[in-house]
Amino acid sequence: MKLSPLGSKPDWTLLDAFARSMSRAEFEKAWREIYSQPNSLPPPFEITQEALLVPGGQTGEPPRRVSFQSAADSADRPAPPGFWRSASRLPPLQGRPVLSDLVIALDPGHLGGQWAAMEERLLSFQPGEDIREGDLSLLTARVLKQRLTDLGAIVHLVRENAEPVTSRRPQDFDQDARQLLTESGFASPTESYLGLVGDAKLLTVQWQREKLFYRVSEIHARGGKVNHQIRPDIVLCLHYNAESWGDASAPQFSPLNHLHTLVNGCYANSELMQQDVRFEMLMRLFGRVHEEELPLASAVAEGMARSTTLPPYVYTTPNARRVNDNPYVYARNLLANRLYLCPVVYLEPYVMNHEETYRRLLAGHYHGRTLIGGRLVSSAIEDYARGVVDGLVKHYQKHRRNS
C-alpha cells in the first residue's frame, strides 16, 4: 500500500459517483493529452471497452471498476460532483460585474517572512536588501483581492500573513525524514546541513524535515482549507519563478526572464504507483476539472503575456508537457494543483534573479513608472495583477451567461 509522503489512504468508493458519466473516448483523450506523461511506463490501470479497472491499495483485492458512459446512457450530462462551478454553470450575470458570484481562493505561494531562508526563497545581492518569494506572493494576493472584489468576485486568501497554515513544525517530521532517507538508501544520514551545499545538503535529516514541514505538510493544510472551508470555484496559486542562483550567500544573476502557467497533469508511472496520487488523478479526470482549468489557464496566461511582455518558458524535462497550442501553458503534477479539488491555475511569471526584475521587485508595488538602471519601468507586481485580472475578465466574459 504505497502512499506519497504524508499522504493518506483514499476512499475509493468516491469514484463510484462517476460511473457512466464519461465515455471511454473522453477518458482516453484526457489521459492521452493531459494527464499522462509522454514516454512514461504504462499506467497502473486498465482501460477496457466498458470500464476503467483500477487497483486500490490492498493486495489481493479485485480492481475497482468505473463504468464508461455508453450510447444507451442519457445524453444530458449531470454536473459532476464537487463544490466548484464552471463559468457556464454560474448564475446569469443580468448586467452585473463579470466576476459576480465567483468564489476565488488566492494561494500566495510559500511562507516568506522568517521562513524564507529555510524555504530557499530569499534572494539578496547586497547587505541590507532582499526579496522573499513568500512576501511578494502575499503582496500580489492583496493587490489582486481588491481588484477582483471590485469586479464582483468573493475572494479569500488561503494564507493571510507570513505564518504557516499547518500547525506542525520541522521537529514533528524527524521520523518521517529519517524514513524517507532510509528508503532512498541513506540509512545513516548527516543530521545538519550547516556548511553543506548541493546534493549533500538534500541528503540531511534537517533538510528533509524542513521540506516536509514547509512544502508537504503546509500544502496538505492548505488543501484542507481550500476543500473544506473556502470551497472556491477556482484557485490561483501565485508564485514568482527563478533560475538557479547557486549558493544563497553569493547568488548569481540570470540573463533569462520568462513566464508560464501550470495546469494539473503529466503524471509519471512512478507517481501513479502511489495509491493516493492515482486516486487524486482519477478524481480530477472524471470530475472534468481540466475542461475548465485549461481554458482558464490559457486566458490568464494570455493576459499575463500581454501585461508583462515576457517570453514563454520552455521545459526540457519530462515532468512537464504542453497541453494545447498556448506556449505559456504546461501540465505538471504538483502537490497544490493535485490536492485542491477544483480548477487551479498555477502562475510562474518572472525570474527573480534576472537583474532588472530583481530591482523592480525590490521597489515593491507602485503605480506608474520609476527609474531603474536608467530605464523607466512599471511595477512587476502591478503588471502581474493586471495580467491576472485581464485574463479572468476575458475568460468569464466569454463563457458566462448574461440571462
Q: Which residues bind Zn ion (CB under 5 A)?
A: 109, 239
Rounded Cα distance between 22 and 29, Å, is 11
| DSSP string computed for 15-42 | GGGGTTSSBHHHHHHHIIIIIBPTTPPP
CB 214 to Zn ion: min, Å: 11
DSSP helix/strand/coil, 185: coil
CB 332 to Zn ion: min, Å: 13
CB 133 to Zn ion: min, Å: 5
344-349 and 329-332 as β-strands: parallel, antiparallel, unpaired?
A: unpaired
Question: Which residue, among 153, 147, 133, has the nearest Cα to 383 in the 3D structure?
Answer: 147
Measured CA to CA in angstroms, residue 144 lies from 84, 139, 393 at distances of 20, 9, 13
Specify the residue, 109 or 265, whose C-beta has the smaller distance to Zn ion. 109
CB 294 to Zn ion: min, Å: 21
Question: Which residue, among 310, 308, 328, 303, has the nearest Cα to 397 in the 3D structure?
Answer: 303
CB 262 to Zn ion: min, Å: 11
Half-sphere exposure of 206 (CA within 13 A, CB side): 12
CB 261 to Zn ion: min, Å: 13
Other Cβ atoms less than 10 A from the Cβ of 13: the count is 9
Specify the residue, 239 or 290, whose C-beta has the smaller distance to Zn ion. 239
Specify the residue, 85 or 132, whose C-beta has the smaller distance to Zn ion. 132
Specify the residue, 132 or 239, whose C-beta has the smaller distance to Zn ion. 239
Q: What is the CA radius of gyration of the chain?
A: 22
Specify the residue, 136 or 181, whose C-beta has the smaller distance to Zn ion. 136
Give counts: helices (H), strands (E), the chain: 12, 14
Specify the residue, 109 or 232, whose C-beta has the smaller distance to Zn ion. 109
C-alpha cell at 276: 493516493
CB 110 to Zn ion: min, Å: 6
DSSP state of 114: G
CB 20 within 8 A of CB 73: yes
Residue, CB closest to Zn ion: 239
Other Cβ atoms less than 10 A from the Cβ of 117: the count is 12
Specify the residue, 103 or 339, whose C-beta has the smaller distance to Zn ion. 339
Helix then strand then coil, in percent of the chain rounded to 5, is: 40, 15, 45
Specify the residue, 210 or 292, whose C-beta has the smaller distance to Zn ion. 210
For residue 22, the one-letter residue type is M
CB 190 to Zn ion: min, Å: 27
CB 215 to Zn ion: min, Å: 10
Question: Which residue, among 41, 151, 68, 149, has the nearest Cα to 394 in the 3D structure?
Answer: 151
Specify the residue, 310 or 393, whose C-beta has the smaller distance to Zn ion. 310
